[in-house]
Amino acid sequence: MTLHLMGSVLSPFVRKARIVLDEKGIDYHLEPVVPFMAPDSFTDLSPLRRVPVLKDSEIDPDWALPDSSAICSYIERKYPMPALYPTAAADYGRALWFEEYADTEFSNIIGQSIFRPALVQVLLGEAPDLELAEKTFQEVLPPYFGYLERSLASQTYFVGDQFSIADISLAVHFQNLRLAGFEIDAAEYPGLAAFIDRLLTRQSFTKCFGEEIAFLEQQGYRSNRSK
């Protein structure tokens, strides 16, 4: 096993890298690392002190990739099959756009204003802020869901109707919403809801999900949200 991935199972970016590895059938070692509890030396590997970080024992010991997009592109180049990035230029560009969209503002809203207040605060022994999480879900996220519903149209996958990095990058955040107790309304967003169910029941996702639930149970976590 040459690949060593560092990060927490609850991170959507760690999950994104794990799913890319799993979809390609590549073995790796996962080292649990919580960025804000990591030693000072972690900065040498990840200057922004973020996870995931990938190391590869076939390369120099100082070599590290501290970003999920860099990691996934590296994995694709090193292990091309099955391809997770479209070949045609137009589709490739669109897939990178959805990856970027998922990784930046969309992730930031879910991470900071739903996942953290509803779930992470409980893990840290603090009171959850369910009002903030609920308000964000009801009032801030709908335009994002609407954009994704329109982009998907009647396709199975986001780009070229082929499973790709675009789908993985988006779906990992819906898994965090689900862990925090939030599901989108299938009547309002039928295409997106079907997409989420399709993705989150893929073997690569359920494998991660099982480990994430086990981790949360080990921490004594139970969702505080009554649906």
Task: By CB under 6 A, name the binding residues for ligand GSH.
Answer: 11-13, 35-36, 49-52, 67-69, 103
Q: Which is nearer to ligand GSH, 167 or 193 (CB)?
A: 167
Closer to ligand GSH by CB, 105 or 217: give it: 105
51 versus 184: smaller Cβ distance to ligand GSH = 51
Q: Where are the beta strands (DSSP E) in the chain?
A: 3-6, 29-31, 53-56
Smallest distance, ligand GSH to C-beta of residue 121, A: 15
Residue 197, token pair as written in the block: 């169910």
Tokens of 109: 């809203």
Nearer to ligand GSH, 36 or 81 (CB): 36
Name the token pair of 212.
């994430």
Closest CB 9 distance from ligand GSH, rounded Å? 11
Q: 182, 114 in Cβ contact below 8 A?
A: yes
The alpha carbons of the chain give a radius of gyration, in whole angstroms, of 17
User: CB of 30: closest distance to ligand GSH in angstroms?
Assistant: 14
For the bound state, the minimum distance from the C-beta of residue 66 to ligand GSH, rounded and expressed in Å, comes to 7
As measured in angstroms, the least distance from the Cβ of 35 to ligand GSH is 4
Closer of 30 and 193 to ligand GSH (Cβ): 30
Distance CA 187, CA 66 (A): 39
For residue 90, what are the CA distances in angstroms to 77, 111, 124, 160?
19, 30, 44, 9
Joined tokens for residue 101: 């969209």
* Dihedral-angle region of residue 82 (phi above 0 means left; psi in -120 to 50 means alpha; beta otherwise): beta
Specify the residue for token string 């996958």.
157
